Amino acid sequence: MITKKDVQYIAHLSRIHLTDEETEKLTTTLEDILGYIEKLNTLDVSTVKPTSHVLPLQNVFRRDLPRPSLSQADAIKSAPESHKGSFKVPQVIE
Protein backbone atom coordinates (compact mmCIF):
# COMPACT_ATOMS: atom_id res chain seq x y z
CA MET A 1 0.00 0.00 0.00
CA ILE A 2 1.59 3.25 -1.10
CA THR A 3 0.28 6.47 0.41
CA LYS A 4 0.37 10.07 -0.71
CA LYS A 5 2.89 10.69 2.05
CA ASP A 6 5.16 7.95 0.64
CA VAL A 7 4.94 9.60 -2.76
CA GLN A 8 5.87 12.97 -1.28
CA TYR A 9 8.83 11.44 0.55
CA ILE A 10 10.07 9.64 -2.59
CA ALA A 11 9.58 12.79 -4.66
CA HIS A 12 11.78 14.73 -2.27
CA LEU A 13 14.40 11.95 -2.22
CA SER A 14 14.34 12.15 -6.03
CA ARG A 15 14.48 15.95 -5.89
CA ILE A 16 11.37 16.32 -8.01
CA HIS A 17 8.74 18.87 -7.16
CA LEU A 18 5.26 17.47 -7.80
CA THR A 19 2.03 19.36 -8.12
CA ASP A 20 -0.88 18.07 -6.03
CA GLU A 21 -2.41 16.63 -9.16
CA GLU A 22 0.81 14.81 -10.04
CA THR A 23 1.05 13.47 -6.50
CA GLU A 24 -2.50 12.11 -6.65
CA LYS A 25 -1.97 10.49 -10.02
CA LEU A 26 1.38 8.97 -9.10
CA THR A 27 -0.05 7.52 -5.93
CA THR A 28 -2.55 5.56 -8.01
CA THR A 29 -0.24 4.47 -10.82
CA LEU A 30 2.60 3.48 -8.50
CA GLU A 31 0.08 1.50 -6.49
CA ASP A 32 -1.01 -0.28 -9.70
CA ILE A 33 2.54 -1.03 -10.82
CA LEU A 34 3.63 -2.22 -7.40
CA GLY A 35 0.53 -4.39 -7.33
CA TYR A 36 1.65 -6.01 -10.56
CA ILE A 37 5.17 -6.45 -9.20
CA GLU A 38 3.68 -8.34 -6.24
CA LYS A 39 3.68 -11.40 -8.49
CA LEU A 40 7.38 -11.86 -7.70
CA ASN A 41 6.32 -12.82 -4.18
CA THR A 42 4.92 -16.08 -5.48
CA LEU A 43 8.49 -17.23 -6.18
CA ASP A 44 10.73 -18.69 -3.49
CA VAL A 45 14.13 -17.13 -4.03
CA SER A 46 15.59 -17.74 -0.58
CA THR A 47 18.42 -19.88 -1.97
CA VAL A 48 19.01 -17.94 -5.19
CA LYS A 49 22.03 -15.69 -5.63
CA PRO A 50 21.36 -12.18 -6.95
CA THR A 51 22.67 -11.17 -10.38
CA SER A 52 24.20 -7.68 -10.64
CA HIS A 53 26.28 -8.36 -13.70
CA VAL A 54 25.15 -10.70 -16.38
CA LEU A 55 28.65 -11.06 -17.82
CA PRO A 56 31.20 -13.03 -15.81
CA LEU A 57 33.71 -10.18 -16.15
CA GLN A 58 36.03 -9.26 -13.28
CA ASN A 59 39.16 -7.29 -12.44
CA VAL A 60 38.92 -4.69 -15.19
CA PHE A 61 41.49 -1.97 -14.52
CA ARG A 62 43.29 0.88 -16.12
CA ARG A 63 46.90 1.76 -15.41
CA ASP A 64 47.72 4.86 -13.40
CA LEU A 65 48.70 6.90 -16.45
CA PRO A 66 47.51 10.44 -17.13
CA ARG A 67 45.32 11.26 -20.11
CA PRO A 68 44.54 14.73 -21.37
CA SER A 69 41.76 16.58 -19.55
CA LEU A 70 39.21 18.90 -21.15
CA SER A 71 40.14 22.56 -21.25
CA GLN A 72 38.48 24.71 -18.61
CA ALA A 73 36.46 26.36 -21.37
CA ASP A 74 35.15 23.01 -22.65
CA ALA A 75 34.42 21.80 -19.13
CA ILE A 76 32.10 24.70 -18.35
CA LYS A 77 30.82 25.27 -21.89
CA SER A 78 27.34 23.88 -21.20
CA ALA A 79 26.98 25.48 -17.76
CA PRO A 80 23.69 27.33 -17.22
CA GLU A 81 25.67 29.81 -15.12
CA SER A 82 29.40 30.13 -14.50
CA HIS A 83 31.83 32.54 -12.91
CA LYS A 84 35.60 32.69 -13.53
CA GLY A 85 35.91 29.07 -14.61
CA SER A 86 33.60 27.66 -11.94
CA PHE A 87 30.01 26.45 -12.11
CA LYS A 88 27.76 28.87 -10.30
CA VAL A 89 24.87 27.75 -8.09
CA PRO A 90 22.71 29.52 -5.53
CA GLN A 91 24.46 30.00 -2.23
CA VAL A 92 24.64 26.73 -0.32
CA ILE A 93 24.24 27.57 3.34
CA GLU A 94 25.88 25.39 5.95
**Residue numbers of the site for other proteins (CB under 8 A)?**
2, 6-7, 10-18, 22, 26, 29-30, 32-34, 36-37, 39-41, 43, 45, 48-55, 57-72, 74-81, 83-94
Least distance in angstroms from the C-beta of 33 to other proteins: 6
The Cα-based distances of 91 to 87, 88, 94 in angstroms read 12, 9, 9
- φ, ψ of residue 90 to 5 degrees: the values are -60, 150
Q: How many other CB atoms are found less than 10 A from the CB of residue 11?
A: 15
| Cα(31)–Cα(24) distance, integer angstroms | 11
Least distance in angstroms from the C-beta of 35 to other proteins: 9
Least distance in angstroms from the C-beta of 58 to other proteins: 5
